A and B are shown apart, each in its own frame.
Chain A
């Protein structure tokens, strides 16, 4: 049975490290649902988080193959532990009383907020868990003019960490 996994890893902050990870997924026909990468506090390392889907066997292979890449220093499967995941969404809607009402209804329990208003368009910023955001976007439906998602990031809760 296929399941979604969030795999997070520390990469050597070398040029080409990202393409090794991305290339591995395409070369071996693994799925990428989202991928996000940025430097960490340690400038020699970047942290990459990839959301992928596969059977247990495939996920096991993905982790092993990633671990085999020389630039991957350490990795963790956040789906295997109690973890916190978040994704940021920016979306643009045409300003109208109806949409503003809808957003304020949704926003009450979602922390969605109107971040910008220019020339009759609103940019709404909202973060949350991926599945929750999927539902949020479905609710707004045709009101959305443009949308961008950051891809999922996450941390293990409690003592467990991904550090050197």
Chain B
């Protein structure tokens, strides 16, 4: 089969089993777009801004486990995509981004819409390629998908100069069935000696904590994690990125850890004698003050990326490899121990944790008439039966969603944890809807974040991807305002959003349903009404309490046991 470069790009996607491409055309990708026009297998989704394309592909990838695919033009097309690429990079999301480039002959001449895409994206991709010959496109595409989806996943860019997609130049096409690269060998199973060492520590632990992260979700290790946790009866905490790998409603789950984690999770970490970190990278929002991180604990660290090991925290046993086979090997070793494994050994530890739990650290004032953001999330949970896919933007609403919507399944909670990208939520929700057309999808956002990628409401109408937008509108950049209250004597420098649009009318202008909810008693009925409209995108603008804070909180630079507790919690200073 002889194909042109443009056709090879699309045929490669087809052979890779790609269903959707999120993109935006422009001069340097017109040949590729013409190839899209002449086939029907790979469906193209025309976004309204390239940032939206990357976040939508990202949301699709997070919800489905399949790589997200983006197609944008050179210059501004590529630069607009950078925020979304960096977002995916920080959270290790598999993504292949095809960028047009100016013709080879004019590269370096400051040609129209020319930018050094390879140079600009180099620090925020797993790898990138500039393809120089039409005959190299197929193999490069194969490499891109292989790199993006194997080992520690991440975004890969394929930058393609316009001249090599010329429809008049055809070359024989064959998509490689397999690819190997001498410079890249992702780890598979873990070292059995290390696994045995880990199990020895597990056997001796009196105050253990399982600290599970996004790697368990990405590595499809949720079932094995559940089995391990239940076999051991150890308390389980999860990072923001790991929520759902272990069920959020399970009594063994002690809540999220870190800056806005629960009191019980952070106190358990601080007092633990064994931390089992699985697919987690000891992010600064998790560790707090590194010097005082888990001062009494031995640490086991399981990760697919050797560079994650001992990057922030020195560990006692490191196991490098894919989470699933490692957990299976670990389970096999633990089963060997069955006769001597003593579950009663940690009974006192559970008693202690239950005391911490009794502080009810996330309690908020339920007596006021104003709409508390936490209340909205609780009602959202109730109305969706805890079954929805939730995307979020970044800020207070993100933390409230993570705290008050317990996820029982992996891939249901989709947020920008590493980069913290405002504007992520709405296009990501659209991407989720492409992956799961029949599922309830909600985007929890705020009036600040939603305005950063609002234009995708238009795409959502065009492609009929109904999402419920839960706008927790407090008129402030809430998290900024909270930090200014705590650290800057309430000098609210530029955190108040004036001249906000009427979101109801705005949603209607985009052809969707808009609702404004001003009273607490209207919250649940509004949500029920919105979710009953299965085929409509509904924008619910909740006018919430303007000064609510996210509690508990570990201030930057503080340790796990040094938490600020909310006024409604039962925490007393003289408690242990």
Residues of A whose CB lies within 8 Å of any CB of B are: 12, 15-16, 19-20, 23, 27, 57, 60-61, 64-65, 67-68, 70-74, 164
**Contact residue among A19, A60, A61, A67 (Cβ-Cβ distance under 8 Å from B122):** A19
- In the complex, A164 Cα to B147 Cα: how many Å? 21
Pair B310/A27 contact, Cβ less than 8 Å: no
In the assembled complex, B525 has its CB within 8 A of some CB on chain A: no
Q: A16-B118, A65-B307, A72-B183 are in contact. Are A27 and B123 (CB under 8 A)?
A: yes
In the assembled complex, B572 has its CB within 8 A of some CB on chain A: no
Residues on A with beta carbons closer than 8 Å to the beta carbon of B130: 15-16
Nearest-neighbor residue (CB-CB) of A68 within chain B: B307
In the assembled complex, B182 has its CB within 8 A of some CB on chain A: yes
What is the minimal beta-carbon distance from A159 to any residue of chain B, in angstroms? 22
What is the minimal beta-carbon distance from A95 to any residue of chain B, in angstroms? 43
Interface of chain B, helix or strand or loop or mixed? mixed
Pair B306/A70 contact, Cβ less than 8 Å: no
Residues on B with beta carbons closer than 8 Å to the beta carbon of A15: 130
- In the complex, A82 Cα to B307 Cα: how many Å? 26
Using an 8 Å CB-CB cutoff, how does the interface string of B118-138 with A read, 1 for contact, 0 for none? 110011001100100000000
Pair B305/A70 contact, Cβ less than 8 Å: no
In the assembled complex, B184 has its CB within 8 A of some CB on chain A: yes
Pair A164/B306 contact, Cβ less than 8 Å: no
Residues of B whose CB lies within 8 Å of any CB of A are: 118-119, 122-123, 126-127, 130, 147, 181-184, 305-307, 309-311, 314
What is the minimal beta-carbon distance from B216 to any residue of chain A, in angstroms? 21
What is the minimal beta-carbon distance from A22 to any residue of chain B, in angstroms? 10
Residues on B with beta carbons closer than 8 Å to the beta carbon of A20: 122
Can you list 10 A-B contacts (CB < 8 A)?
A16-B119, A19-B122, A57-B314, A61-B310, A64-B309, A64-B311, A67-B307, A68-B305, A70-B126, A73-B183
**Contact residue among A57, A60, A70, A164 (Cβ-Cβ distance under 8 Å from B127):** A70
Residues on B with beta carbons closer than 8 Å to the beta carbon of A16: 118-119, 122, 130
Q: A60-B310, A61-B307, A64-B306 are in contact. Are A70 and B123 (CB under 8 A)?
A: no
- In the complex, A57 Cα to B315 Cα: how many Å? 12
Pair A12/B183 contact, Cβ less than 8 Å: yes
Q: A16-B130, A64-B306 are in contact. Are A70 and B122 (CB under 8 A)?
A: no
- In the complex, A19 Cα to B310 Cα: how many Å? 26
- In the complex, A64 Cα to B127 Cα: how many Å? 16
Pair A19/B147 contact, Cβ less than 8 Å: no
Interface of chain A, helix or strand or loop or mixed? helix
- In the complex, A72 Cα to B182 Cα: how many Å? 10
Nearest-neighbor residue (CB-CB) of A16 within chain B: B118
Pair A164/B307 contact, Cβ less than 8 Å: no
Please name 18 further chain A to chain B contacts, defined as beta carbons within 8 Å, in addition to the given A16-B130, A20-B122, A70-B183, sorted by A numbering.
A15-B130, A16-B118, A16-B119, A23-B122, A27-B123, A57-B310, A60-B310, A61-B311, A64-B306, A64-B307, A64-B311, A67-B306, A68-B306, A70-B126, A70-B181, A70-B184, A72-B183, A74-B183
- In the complex, A73 Cα to B182 Cα: how many Å? 7
- In the complex, A72 Cα to B122 Cα: how many Å? 15
Nearest-neighbor residue (CB-CB) of A64 within chain B: B307
Pair A164/B118 contact, Cβ less than 8 Å: no
- In the complex, A61 Cα to B118 Cα: how many Å? 24
What is the minimal beta-carbon distance from B310 to any residue of chain A, in angstroms? 7
Pair B310/A23 contact, Cβ less than 8 Å: no
Residues on A with beta carbons closer than 8 Å to the beta carbon of B123: 23, 27
Pair B147/A70 contact, Cβ less than 8 Å: yes
- In the complex, A20 Cα to B124 Cα: how many Å? 11
Q: Which 5 A-B pairs have the closest CB atoms?
A: A64-B307, A73-B183, A70-B127, A27-B123, A68-B307
Residues on B with beta carbons closer than 8 Å to the beta carbon of A64: 306-307, 309, 311
- In the complex, A74 Cα to B185 Cα: how many Å? 11
Residues on B with beta carbons closer than 8 Å to the beta carbon of A60: 310
- In the complex, A23 Cα to B128 Cα: how many Å? 14
Pair B182/A164 contact, Cβ less than 8 Å: yes
Nearest-neighbor residue (CB-CB) of A61 within chain B: B311
- In the complex, A91 Cα to B458 Cα: how many Å? 66
- In the complex, A57 Cα to B126 Cα: how many Å? 23
What is the minimal beta-carbon distance from A94 to any residue of chain B, in angstroms? 41
- In the complex, A109 Cα to B118 Cα: how many Å? 49
- In the complex, A1 Cα to B469 Cα: how many Å? 53
Residues on A with beta carbons closer than 8 Å to the beta carbon of B183: 12, 70-74
- In the complex, A153 Cα to B307 Cα: how many Å? 26
What is the minimal beta-carbon distance from B81 to any residue of chain A, in angstroms? 19
What is the minimal beta-carbon distance from A55 to any residue of chain B, in angstroms? 12
Residues on A with beta carbons closer than 8 Å to the beta carbon of B122: 16, 19-20, 23
What is the minimal beta-carbon distance from A106 to any residue of chain B, in angstroms? 43
What is the minimal beta-carbon distance from B183 to any residue of chain A, in angstroms? 4
What is the minimal beta-carbon distance from B565 to any residue of chain A, in angstroms? 34
What is the minimal beta-carbon distance from A154 to any residue of chain B, in angstroms? 22
What is the minimal beta-carbon distance from A92 to any residue of chain B, in angstroms? 34
- In the complex, A68 Cα to B184 Cα: how many Å? 8
- In the complex, A72 Cα to B184 Cα: how many Å? 8
Residues on A with beta carbons closer than 8 Å to the beta carbon of B306: 64, 67-68
Residues on B with beta carbons closer than 8 Å to the beta carbon of A73: 182-183
Residues on A with beta carbons closer than 8 Å to the beta carbon of B314: 57
- In the complex, A12 Cα to B305 Cα: how many Å? 21
What is the minimal beta-carbon distance from A27 to any residue of chain B, in angstroms? 5
- In the complex, A71 Cα to B182 Cα: how many Å? 9
What is the minimal beta-carbon distance from B7 to any residue of chain A, in angstroms? 26
Nearest-neighbor residue (CB-CB) of B314 within chain A: A57
Nearest-neighbor residue (CB-CB) of A24 within chain B: B123
What is the minimal beta-carbon distance from B172 to any residue of chain A, in angstroms? 24
Residues on A with beta carbons closer than 8 Å to the beta carbon of B309: 64
- In the complex, A16 Cα to B128 Cα: how many Å? 10
Residues on B with beta carbons closer than 8 Å to the beta carbon of A27: 123
Residues on A with beta carbons closer than 8 Å to the beta carbon of B184: 70
Residues on A with beta carbons closer than 8 Å to the beta carbon of B311: 61, 64
- In the complex, A74 Cα to B182 Cα: how many Å? 9
